[in-house]
Amino acid sequence: MTEHSVIGHDVIEHDVVVREDIDETALVGMARALAPAVSAGGAIHLVGELGAGKTTFARALLVALGVDGRVKSPTYSLIESYTLGSLTIQHLDLYRIAAADEVEWLGLRDLDVGRHLWLIEWPERAVGALPSPDLIVHLAHAAHGRDLRLEAVSPVGRQWLGIVDPGSVGPFRTAS
C-alpha cells in the first residue's frame, strides 16, 4: 500500500480506504466527501452484488457534484449523461450486458472527449471496453449495513483519496 505524508505539503496518499458495516447515511456521506476530489474528471468503477448500494453511492456523488432534479438509475437505459459546466458525467449500469462487445454501440470511446467523469456499475460485464478506472468502489452487504472499500488504482485515484477530508466522514481506517 502507498501511504505517505509529505510534511509541509500536507499530502497524504492512500491506496485503500475502508469503512465497515456503515448505514446508508454514512455511505452517502462518503460519496459526498469524495465529490470535490473527483470533479476534475476520471473513472470510477462500482463493484458489488445486487442491492449492495452502487446506485445509492453514485446518486449521492451526482447530487453532491450539483446535478439537480431526479437522478435516474441507468438500469434500463444503460447510460445516463449529465452536463455540469465543462464536466460531462456518464453513469452506466451494465448489469444487462453479457459480453464486452455488446457495449460497442454505446460508442464510449467517442464520448470520452473533454472533461469526463465515468461512474460505471457492473464494469466486470464489459472488461476491456471501458475507460480504465482511477478508483474502484467495492460494496458488500454486512451484518447491519454495508462494507465500503475505496481502492485507488491510478495516481489520479490516489490523489482523490488523499483529498477526501476524513474529518467530514469520521475516522478512516486505511488498509492494504
Ligand X SMILES: Nc1ncnc2c1ncn2[C@@H]1O[C@H](COP(=O)(O)OP(=O)(O)OP(=O)(O)O)[C@@H](O)[C@H]1O
Q: Is 79 exposed, middle or buried (0-12, 13-18, 19+ CB in 10 A)?
A: middle
Query: What does the angle CA 148 – CA 150 – CA 155 come to, to the nearest 5 degrees?
Result: 180
Q: Is 126 in the site for ligand X (CB under 6 A)?
A: no
How far does CA 34 lie from the centroid of its chain? 8
Q: Is 55 in the site for ligand X (CB under 6 A)?
A: yes
Give the residue, chosen from 17, 33, 34, 56, that forms a contact with ligand X under the rule CB under 6 A: 56
3-state helix, strand, coil in the chain (%, to 5): 30, 30, 40
Return the range that interacts with ligand X (CB under 6 A); candidates 11-19, 20-28, 111-119, 159-167.
20-28
- The CB-of-71 to ligand X minimum distance in angstroms stands at 11
Q: Is 22 in the site for ligand X (CB under 6 A)?
A: yes
Residues 48-107 that bind Mg ion (CB under 5 A): 54-55
- The CA–CA distances, whole Å, from 113 to 17, 63, 94 equal 29, 23, 21
Q: Considering beta carbons, is residue 39 or 55 the nearer one to Mg ion?
A: 55
Give the residue, chosen from 2, 4, 6, 24, that forms a contact with ligand X under the rule CB under 6 A: 24
